[in-house]
Homo-oligomer: A and B are copies of this chain.
Amino acid sequence: MTHDLIFKNISRHIDLSEEEKNYFISLITFKEVSRKTVILKEGQACKHLSYVHSGALRAYCMDNEGKEATIMFAVADWWVTDMFCFLHDKRAMMQIETIEDSCIFQLSKKHWEKLFYKAPKFERFFRILMQNAYTREQLRVMDNLSLSAEKRYDNFLIKYPHIAKQVTQKQIASYLGITPEFLSAIRKNKSKEGIS
């Protein structure tokens, strides 16, 4: 239950006093979650923002036909939630579940608001976090608009090599917006190219 990692994460953007650190600790709760556990269920209230201390989670949506679209993977040192629903107190549009046994810290919506009130420094921290999340998603939109499935897959491997090792092809396919069958075909092509 070490807080080292999460404070290292925070200190990349702001400096906290001991007092602020202790206050922050008092607001978060630690959870060990075994693999394949749903920590946020679609349709339920999204009350927590989670920081991944170890393990890996996946956030995804299901359309009417049950096809999954992976919104994001969250591995160690990432923050994850259904942000829109967390912020606006809506029922979750996405489901979040662990891919592996994981340890997470959670900050409730209530504490999220308190935190800004008592330690406004965190406004800056989360501003930067949101900035990064925004630009990341924007780059993803750009990829989706202009690249073929194969190039998107290449990009994914380059950008998130560690994630690629932790998740299944089916999950990668659903992140790229293609079918597992087609991703398989892409990979087959690549291995052929590699030989020539």
Produce 1/0 per residue, A111-145, CB < 8 A to B: 00000100010011011001101110111111011
Q: Does A84 contact B (CB under 8 A)?
A: yes
B84 and A139 contacting across the interface, CB-CB below 8 Å: yes
Q: Does A163 contact B (CB under 8 A)?
A: no
Q: Does A180 contact B (CB under 8 A)?
A: no
Q: Does A63 contact B (CB under 8 A)?
A: yes
Using A123-B124, A127-B130, A134-B133 as known contacts, say yes or no to A141 and B141 having CB atoms under 8 A apart: yes
Chain A: interface secondary structure?
helix
Q: Does A67 contact B (CB under 8 A)?
A: yes
- Cβ-neighbour of A137 out of B67, B126, B141 (below 8 A): B141
Residues of chain B within 8 A (CB-CB) of A167 are none
Closest Cβ of chain B to A136, distance in Å, is 8
Residues of chain B within 8 A (CB-CB) of A131 are 83, 87, 126, 130
| A131 CA / B123 CA spacing, docked (Å) | 11
Interface size on A, residues (CB 8 A): 32
B177 and A83 contacting across the interface, CB-CB below 8 Å: no
Using A130-B130, A130-B131, A177-B144 as known contacts, say yes or no to A138 and B67 having CB atoms under 8 A apart: no
- Cβ-neighbour of A124 out of B120, B137, B140, B144 (below 8 A): B120
Residues of chain B within 8 A (CB-CB) of A124 are 116, 120, 123, 127
| A69 CA / B142 CA spacing, docked (Å) | 7
A138 and B61 contacting across the interface, CB-CB below 8 Å: no
Which residue of B is nearest A138, CB measured? B137
Residues of chain B within 8 A (CB-CB) of A126 are 127, 131
